[in-house]
């Protein structure tokens, strides 16, 4: 992953979050409930949930020991 990809902020939907983290839906929501994973947010006040790509990338880096 290039530096440019890491700094580009976008909204990721669940399939992308699952693909990037390697986690399943239930695990993601369990970790969110335990406050150990970035919270999903309602998009435009609808029933659609999305995650901030930079928050998820930071979580991944922390899991890999790349961030203190």
**Where do the structural domains in the chain lie, given as residue ranges?**
3-63
> What is residue 55's three-state secondary structure?
helix
Query: Looking at residue 45, what is its pLDDT?
Result: 78
Per-residue pLDDT tens digits for 13-67: 999 999 999 999 999 999 999 999 999 999 987 889 999 999 999 999 999 998 6
The pTM score is 0.82
Query: Looking at residue 42, what is its pLDDT?
Result: 92
Edge-to-edge strand order for the sheet containing 11-12?
A: 11-12, 49-52, 41-42
53 vs 8: which has the higher pLDDT: 53
* Sign of the four-CA dihedral 19, 22, 24, 27: negative
């Amino acid at each position: 992953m290039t530096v440019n990809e890491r700094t580009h902020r976008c909204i990721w939907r669940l399939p992308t979050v699952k693909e990037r983290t390697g986690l399943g839906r239930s695990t993601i929501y369990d970790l969110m409930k335990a406050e150990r994973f970035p919270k999903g947010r309602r998009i435009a006040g609808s029933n659609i949930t999305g995650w901030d790509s930079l928050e998820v990338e930071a979580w991944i880096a922390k899991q890999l020991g790349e961030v203190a």
